Amino acid sequence: MQVQQTGDVTRDWYTRFAAHEARGQSAIYEAWAVGVAGDDEVLDRIRELPRPKRQPNLVFACSRLLGAPEGSYGEWREWLLAHWPAVADAALHRSTQTNEPRRCAVMLPLLARIDGPIALLEVGASAGLCLYPDRYAYRYDDGSVLGDTVLGASDVLLECATTGPVPLPARMPEIAWRAGIDLAPLDADDADDMRWLETLIWPEQVERRERIRRAIEVARREPARLVAGDGRERLREVAAGAPANATLVVFHAGTIVYLGRDDRAAFADAVRALAADRGRTHWISLEGQGVTPGVQPDGTAPSSTFALAFDGDLVAFAGPHGQSLDWLG
């Protein structure tokens, strides 16, 4: 669908969100975003927020966290206008921290071909649910299940549809160390943090919500080190804690899109410099197309898909939540 640009940044943001992100994923969010895009009074409220805080995901999630009805746009609009000061305050103090463990399914083929032990370091870790690729079970297409569910290693089954010559893993990666960096890490043992994490799941996505609840139990059983701070500033410090005999893998998924263009470039430079100095270091990025510096899709994939890159080289397109993987030849 071609989205007509109006030159109004906030209006266009909600229009694109409705057409390219919510459509087919959440009828409620699509209706809300379409409604906002055509509603000057609501747009004026949202424009009171700093630009990064106007994003649909954040405004919608904050409203639901505070009790907004998950119904028609008219019902939501009435509630929002009556409760706007509280929603605005929540948006200023929170950030989107979607933590979808199924993204591990698209990274697993890359992790499984790295000789262990692996030290896994995620930037933008949220609650760290993507730090446990070896603790989940997987099914690609209609194939057999990979991973040990019989012995209780995980009751989290991640399913992924594939196309192209995907190098499906024959073994699980050997993860010896796991850590994450986030501006405001979420604690799997904190009820308020986990309520926010669940609220970030779109209203109709019951399966995703249940999958995250099961992944939270995995994180509680084996807590990873989660460090508060800017990934660019703390990358070397946290990486220094990795075992010297391990191959370090720095990864991020749907994270650096929230940085400005110059900051993205600075982050990419920091990862490359760390790899050059340390050796035995790889970089996996899973971001929207055109987001990761140096990773330039050729325009053949749907704009709604993410670009999966290994050490800066594009290897596949993937569903934003790990639901699909289209490997390049």
Question: Hey, where are the domains in the chain?
Answer: 9-93, 101-327
User: From CA 110, how far away is CA 296, in angstroms rounded?
Assistant: 19
> 231 and 123 in contact (C-beta within 8 Å)?
yes
Per residue in 176-211, pLDDT (tens digit) is 999 999 999 999 999 999 999 999 999 999 999 999
User: From CA 187, how far away is CA 127, in angstroms rounded?
Assistant: 6
The CATH code that applies to domain 101-327 is: 3.40.50
> 148 and 89 in contact (C-beta within 8 Å)?
no
Confidence of residue 4 (pLDDT cuts 50, 70, 90): low
| Nearest to 158, CA basis, from 147, 150, 167, 168 | 147
| CA terminus-to-terminus distance, the chain | 27
Q: What is the mean pLDDT of the chain?
A: 93
What pTM did the predictor assign?
A: 0.89
Confidence of residue 147 (pLDDT cuts 50, 70, 90): confident
